[in-house]
Structure 1
Amino acid sequence: MEQAVDHTKRTGTRYGMLALVFVNVVINYLDRSNLAVAASSLSKELDLSPVQLGLIFSAFGWSYASLQIPGGLLADRFGPRILYAFCLITWSLATVFQGFVRGFVSLFSLRLATGAFEAPSYPINNRVVTSWFPDHERASAIAMYVSGQFIGLAFLTPVLVMLQVHIGWKGLFITTGVIGLVWGVVWYLLYRDPLDHAEVNQAELDYIEAGGGVINRNKPVASGASVWQWNNLRQVFSSKTLWGVYIGQFSVNAMLWFFLTWFPTYLVKYRGLDFIKSGYLASVPFLAACAGLLLSGFVSDRLVCNGTSVSVARKAPIIIGLFLSVSIIGANYTNETYLIIFFMAMAFFGSGMALISWVFVSVLSPKHLIGLTGGVFNFMGNLASIVVPIVIGFLAREGDFKPALVFIGALGLVGACSYIFLVGKIERVVTRTVTL
């Protein structure tokens, strides 16, 4: 028997769907960062050099980045419910198997598999938010789900450290993988698209669509032809504005991937901190990043609601954040633990501010190519997940980590300049016929 729905007052079903995406992101980043927690112990047991460890840190990025465009196309072709459940279960299986590795090759291969199966996740996240939220709520919604990566890591990094202390790095991988397997089933049971959800009413659907939400896009297209055309790929590579946000996203992700890979090793090996103590201190920059992200998202949306131009409201927090991220270099000039953590937290706070950049995929991309644009955007950004861990491994191979921090800080400056000089007026890219 169907429940009566009050059609005069809009429902808030979109917030429930956002909560599901938030949990997806927490699990997503647990399975990306568990290697960073295990690295110190794992590298000793498997006899891995800093260069080998850098390569393993980057393995996730090789497959994740290279499959972003196919992942975006899949997000345009299939609904989030089935595709996300598939991704959650498969990447979680790869995580479980990492608990049984015996050397460099097997661990490298499984990290490649994890990256491959996680590849569609952020294009799907953006699809969900674009479908469920109007434009003026979009930055806040993105900030809320992206904050999952920081809130989860801030509060769960000490838990992961204690898990490794008590059950070892193998148990750490198995435990985090099993969590994802269970959640993949929960996601499939609970998530629905806007037009299919039993608890959403017409008032909420009208509110979303009137505000620019693309609720009809969640229906799989009848044919993939409109998505798989080469002209569509040219569209998302031919805009100077899009190139500006692509380069900016590379810079934002450079900071993120330092913290997801080398940061715990930096504290333990290069700063001589106790392993358990480092687990608690490592949570501070993640909390700072979360604060920066939420502040940026809500301030940006408030500016839009108050009549500030979209260009200023969306770009200003990102530019300010990227400039703040350069402060990571300050850690090179102190040996005081609290100052090291301060500079790390300040830099990650700035990087967190810049992570509302996903809003540009929603407001710039052609309406029928949101998944593809998101895939390209995430591909360009996640090239940092390949480049940064490897470059840091080489820069730190002689035991000096200072050049690595200069490298990360300089990329923040590049990103700020990209938004200042390349990203122009914020308006949706118009689809046009491209001739050879």
Structure 2
Amino acid sequence: MKIFENRWFIMLVLLAPLNFLFGVDRNALSVTAHYIQPELGIDYVLMSEILVISTAVYALLQIPAGWLVERFGVRWMLAGACLVWSAATLATSMQTDVAGFFGARILLGIGQAPDWVACIFAMKMLFPENDREGASSLLLAASYTGFIASGAITPYIVENFGWRNCFFWYGLIGIAFSLVLFFGYKGQETDKLLPVSCLSGGTNTRWNAELIWKIAQIGLYYGAVCVQHGFFFVSFPHFAGSSLHVTPVLAGTLFSVLWLVLYLSVLFWGGLIKYLKTRGGGDWLRGNLGRSVGLMASAVLLALGVSWGSLWASMLLLCLSMSALGLCQVLTWSHVQSISGATGIAAGVTQLVGNGFLALGPVVFEILFKEYSAWTHVAILIAGIGLLGSALWMVPNASAIHSTRTEA
């Protein structure tokens, strides 16, 4: 049936729900950490290490995941990824000690590694260039909807049925959906125009200083973006309890509010950029200036929100920070897809660096909080890294440097 090959059908019925599950499963342990810590008898630093080990593994496997997607195709990798990470989620429900939790989270990182790279490839093959910001924003929104749902629903399930049942049912649902993906995905599976991509050093890729700088630039930029995501993803529940003095259930609700803002933000920015394109404008927003200002604004607003003592003032600033991060996310992934002949390695490197910072950031935040019993130093670190990442887009690229030297 032609409907199964329709790009919007594939996006809305297969890719979006997959990334919704990705968000739910990835965030579930962050929201339930407060309930599990007393059972394990561990502090926030060790708990943060358990939480981010999956992100570290996820980051390390990004480039191999890109290679596997190109070799075996989108359908096999997405269905296999969903099956493995859902099995890891189910296995989490059976753990009784720290080692077991580390093992389950490592398996989760292995399973989730191919998801975003495979989705980037799918979107590149399904959508023309003018529609990619909009498609990227929808896919990001689906993932953030999973974070929203997990923050709102997971504490309720844990309170009424226990955290083990929560992970058990999340895992079963994901395993079932992996079968839907395998039999339902009918889109193009590999990029026929690039049979051997830059990941294997094929002839289609011309490696030069400009291309290397483009990949390094977007990777480091996304690393700075993910430092902030690390705070929202892992550290916020602890911050909300220790600084804003809210209950775990309310912390989960506030967590969902923040990710709802991010969800609305990526949809807004994706729609605005598409509208400006149709009007023949918006180059300033989707270019270097937009990436730079977006990251600078989100970092400063996050630092102010962390430093503020009032619940409502802090949440307002954090929501504004999340809205600016939405612009950064949309611009990151549309830029990755625009790196001609190197989409695979650009996506892999960007995910590697970004998720490396996402894994490291929360551990450093918890160490700083443990050392100083305050979030002030965390705020300073976040602001500093954000400003450095913003400055990356003020550095001229290799072609501009070459042109300047030639003219001289």
TM-score, structure 1 as length reference? 0.83
1:311–1:344: structure 2 CA closer, same or farther, 3 Å change rule?
Answer: closer
Gaps of 5+ in 2: 401-408
Mapping for residues 373-412 of structure 1, pairs under 5 Å: 373-398=346-371, 399-412=373-386
Is 1:190 aligned to 2:184, yes or no? yes
Q: Could you tell me which residue of structure 2 aligns to residue 290 of structure 1? A: 263
Is 1:228 aligned to 2:206, yes or no? no
Offset at residue 239 of structure 1 (A): 2.0
Is 1:360 aligned to 2:327, yes or no? no
Instruction: Judge which range, 243-252 or 135-144, deviates more.
Output: 243-252
CA deviation map 1:13-46 (0-9, x unaligned): 2111111211111111111111110111111210
Q: Could you tell me which residue of structure 2 aligns to residue 162 of structure 1? A: 156
Kept after mapping to 2: 8 A contact 1:328/1:344: yes
Matched to 1:364, the amino acid is I
* SS state at 2:93 partner: helix
Offset at residue 242 of structure 1 (A): 2.1
Is 1:319 aligned to 2:319, yes or no? no
Kept after mapping to 1: 8 A contact 2:136/2:334: yes
RMSD between superposed Cα atoms in Å? 2.7
Distance 1:218 1:272 in 2: 55
Gaps of 5+ in 1: 6-10, 197-215, 427-436
CA deviation map 1:289-334 (0-9, x unaligned): 1222122212222333333375753444433321221211112443
Is 1:94 aligned to 2:88, yes or no? yes
Kept after mapping to 2: 8 A contact 1:59/1:111: yes
Q: How many residues align?
A: 395
Kept after mapping to 1: 8 A contact 2:27/2:150: no
Matched to 2:163, the amino acid is W
Kept after mapping to 1: 8 A contact 2:305/2:314: yes
* SS state at 2:390 partner: helix
Kept after mapping to 1: 8 A contact 2:53/2:105: yes
Kept after mapping to 1: 8 A contact 2:244/2:310: no
* SS state at 1:101 partner: coil
Kept after mapping to 1: 8 A contact 2:304/2:317: yes
1:283–1:226: structure 2 CA closer, same or farther, 3 Å change rule?
Answer: closer
* SS state at 2:219 partner: helix
Distance 2:115 2:156 in 1: 28
Matched to 2:355, the amino acid is N
1:136–1:158: structure 2 CA closer, same or farther, 3 Å change rule?
Answer: same
Q: Could you tell me which residue of structure 2 aligns to residue 247 of structure 1? A: 220
Q: Could you tell me which residue of structure 2 aligns to residue 349 of structure 1? A: 323
Q: Could you tell me which residue of structure 1 aligns to residue 8 of structure 2? A: 15
Is 1:53 aligned to 2:47, yes or no? yes
1:382–1:230: structure 2 CA closer, same or farther, 3 Å change rule?
Answer: farther
1:408–1:218: structure 2 CA closer, same or farther, 3 Å change rule?
Answer: farther
Distance 1:280 1:86 in 2: 32
Distance 1:282 1:270 in 2: 14
Q: Could you tell me which residue of structure 2 aligns to residue 8 of structure 1? A: none
CA deviation map 1:149-181 (0-9, x unaligned): 222222442111101111222222222222211
1:220–1:318: structure 2 CA closer, same or farther, 3 Å change rule?
Answer: closer
Q: Could you tell me which residue of structure 2 aligns to residue 414 of structure 1? A: 388
Q: Could you tell me which residue of structure 2 aligns to residue 213 of structure 1? A: none
Kept after mapping to 2: 8 A contact 1:53/1:393: no
Q: Could you tell me which residue of structure 2 aligns to residue 304 of structure 1? A: 277
CA deviation map 1:323-358 (0-9, x unaligned): 221211112443221112111111111111110111
Kept after mapping to 2: 8 A contact 1:37/1:161: yes
1:218–1:113: structure 2 CA closer, same or farther, 3 Å change rule?
Answer: farther
Kept after mapping to 2: 8 A contact 1:255/1:348: no
Mapping for residues 129-168 of structure 1, pairs under 5 Å: 129-168=123-162
1:69–1:129: structure 2 CA closer, same or farther, 3 Å change rule?
Answer: same
Offset at residue 237 of structure 1 (A): 9.5
Instruction: Judge which range, 285-294 or 307-316, deviates more.
Output: 307-316
Q: Identify, as 1 or 2, the structure richer in helix.
A: 2
Matched to 1:59, the amino acid is I
Q: Could you tell me which residue of structure 1 aligns to residue 406 of structure 2? A: none
Distance 2:153 2:75 in 1: 30
Matched to 1:372, the amino acid is I
Instruction: Judge which range, 62-71 or 302-311, deviates more.
Output: 302-311
CA deviation map 1:21-78 (0-9, x unaligned): 1111111111111111011111121011222112112201221111100001111112
CA deviation map 1:71-100 (0-9, x unaligned): 011111121111110110011101111111
Offset at residue 253 of structure 1 (A): 1.4
